[in-house]
Structure 1
Amino acid sequence: MHLINKFTLVLLVGIIISCQSGKIEKETNLISVSILPQKYFIERIAGDDFKVNVLIPPGASPATYEPTPMQMKDVAKSIAYFRIGHIPFETVWLNNLVEGAGEIKVVDLSKGIELIKGIEKHGDHVHEGGIDPHIWSSLKSVKIISRNLFQELVKLAPNKKEVYEKNYRKFLSELDEMDQFAETSLSHKKGMSFMIFHPALTYLARDYGLHQISVELDGKEPSPAHMKHLVEEAKRLEIKQVFVQKQFNVENAKAIVFEINGEVVLIDPLTEDWLNEMKRIINILKD
């Protein structure tokens, strides 16, 4: 985002807030989060005890989305902001989102997860790149996210500890069951390569010994040379599907599957219906 636009938006929100008696009233049950799966996780533990303000709407990308003034105002009303960890949206916007929010608790839900760092290529050398943020694409990681959430939600509503613990244990049991299903279903696929436009399944691939091939290169659309390489790799590895998240353009994926006589498979790990989508993705990978 251009610096001037960001400055203008932050200034506009500041004016909106200052025009309302100088102080925004907190809503004692309002929590802000970055992505829709977080809303699902919170509601699995706390039911409808909290109103969850999701900043990135359905169909938007965490890499490019810009919050609206009203969303920034809703963050200022919140008692807590649960960040998912390291998505570009949070890197760019989080400080501005909480700066005018007064007393707001900021919690990093990626705490305790073994994060994956990428590899960046520069000319004739490579080095360790930034953190892969897609921790919600892993059942194993979501177990840790849920534990972090449970602990923080109990702090916000201590009188509901027994209810939240019961709900948390039930959700954890479902995660364990799905994780075991994936372990069993994908055991014969260890070392298998799959192709995806945006590398959203990095943690899932690590969990079950799969190899993810990204069409994007360092977050950018592929060059003609890289497209040629991808087609060659797909043919060599007998890949017939290219996964594309609904937040991204499918045209490059279509160009690849045309060359390999394959198909584009739309997935949405960012959906609020998270557990069902994870099961669908695992079923596609196992077949």
Structure 2
Amino acid sequence: MLVMVPPGGNPATYEPKPRQMASLSKCKLYFTIGVPFESAWLSRFLSAHPRILIRPVYTGIERVPMESTAYQPFTVKRSAMDPHIWLSPPLAILQARNVLEGLLQTDPKYKDMYEANFKKLTSNIVDLDLKIRDLFANADGKNRFMVYHPAWGYFARTYGLRQIAIEREGKKPRPKDLQSLIQFAKESGFKHLFVQPQVSTQVPQVIAKAIGAQIIILDPLAPDWDQNLLRAAKNIKKALR
């Protein structure tokens, strides 16, 4: 298995290494999820290796624009589709189904193993989903948490929450928007600001200082997916306003 954006890499800016590009020649199947990295590089991969089968893991999932998954106290034009579907356990099951179908298509001799692993994975995801639902059993769609990058929209929609995002269209807010955001955050009483490790904390630190909030790292790309989601859920619950 070849991972084109390694742990710690930013899927919006990462550039593959020559060794990764060369390793693609051995690949039969490439799973896509809709991150900016793919928009920049996928056509180049196919040009060099036209026999690779492309399988989007978001097939059958209703994706929505980024601004639809995050409330922002300023005007935002229509943006790209939110790719962060893996942060919602029910959507992760659909992704796993797409992976299974891709593997069965390209490597059918291991059908029994793939299906057994899918069944086990699905069971584990259902258990995780139930644990998180229990944490947010009283959520009514009005409970809010503040993030810098709007990665947690599908998670919020799944569990009846609302994420308040600072970043818009992948860019830091303009000065006039920043002032509106700070005022909004003060009035709302936010005491926690979630930031992912792949982005600069310069702007979040300014906002956190202005509103008296604590910065907490919330990594949407952590490799320990299930434990990370459970940790994130517990941290988000503490931060709800």
TM-score over 0.5 (shorter chain): yes
Residue 201 of structure 1: which of 143, 149, 152 is its match? Answer: 152
The higher relative CO (CA closer than 8 Å, separation ≥ 6) is in 2
2: CA distance, partners of 1:53 / 1:251: 33
Note the 1:64-103 alignment, pairs <5 A: 64-84=13-33, 86-103=34-51
Q: Is the 8 A contact 1:231 1:259 kept in 2?
A: yes
| Corresponding residue of 1:254 | 205
Query: Number of residue pairs matched?
Result: 232
2 CA distance for matches of 1:218 and 1:179?
Answer: 29
* SS of 1:76 mapped into structure 2: helix
Unaligned runs of 5+ in 1: 1-51
Alignment partner of 2:189 out of 238, 244, 247: 238
Tell me the TM-score normalised to structure 2 length: 0.90
More off after superposition, 184-193 vs 276-285? 184-193
Please report how far the alpha carbon of residue 70 of structure 1 lies from its aligned counterpart in structure 2 after TM superposition. 2.0
Partner residue of 1:116 out of 49, 55, 64: 64
Following superposition, the deviation at residue 118 of structure 1 comes to 3.5
Matched, 1:178 2:125: no
Aligned-partner Cα distance in 2 for 1:241–1:119: 21
1:165 aligns with 2:115: yes
Q: CA deviation at 1:77?
A: 2.3
What amino acid sits opposite 2:182 in the alignment? V
SS of the counterpart of 2:114? Answer: helix
Which consecutive unaligned segments of at least 5 residues does structure 2 have? 69-74
Quote the offset at 1:211 in angstroms: 1.2
Identity over aligned pairs, percent:
34
Given the alignment of the two structures, is residue 268 of structure 1 paired with residue 216 of structure 2, yes or no?
no
Counterpart AA for 1:188 = N
Q: Which amino acid aligns with 1:167?
A: N
> Deviation of residue 250 (structure 1)?
1.0
**SS across alignment from 1:116:** coil
**Which secondary structure state, in structure 1, belongs to the residue aligned with residue 163 of structure 2?**
strand
**In the superposition, relative to structure 1, how do residues 265 and 149 fare at CA in structure 2: closer, same or farther (>3 Å)?**
same
Match status 1:225 vs 2:176: yes
Opposite residue 218 of structure 2, the aligned amino acid is I
137-146 vs 225-234, which moves further: 225-234
Cα shift at 1:218:
2.0
Alpha-carbon displacement from aligned partner over 1:147-202 (angstroms, at most 9, x marks no partner): 11112222333232222222211111111111122222112233111111111111
Q: Which residue does the alignment assign to 2:72? A: none
Q: Deviations over 1:189-246 (max 9, x none)?
A: 3311111111111111111121111111221112222222222222222211111111
Partner of 1:198, secondary structure, is coil
RMSD over aligned Cα atoms: 1.9
Amino acid at match of 2:131: F
1:142 counterpart = 2:84: no
Cα deviations by residue, 1:228-267 (Å, 9 ceiling, x for unpaired): 2222222222211111111001121111121222211102
Q: Deviations over 1:17-52 (max 9, x none)?
A: xxxxxxxxxxxxxxxxxxxxxxxxxxxxxxxxxxx1
Distance change in 2, residues 1:270/1:208 (3 Å): same
Q: Does structure 1 residue 54 correspond to structure 2 residue 7?
A: no
Pick the structure with more strand per residue. 1
2:202 is matched by which residue type in structure 1?
E
Residue 135 (structure 1) shift: 1.1
Match of 1:38 in 2: none
Q: CA deviation at 1:131?
A: 0.8
Q: Once the 2 structures are TM-superposed, how far is the Cα of residue 119 of structure 1 from its aligned partner?
A: 4.2
The structure with more radius of gyration? 1
* Aligned residue type for 1:61: N
CA contact (8 A) 2:30 2:54 kept: yes
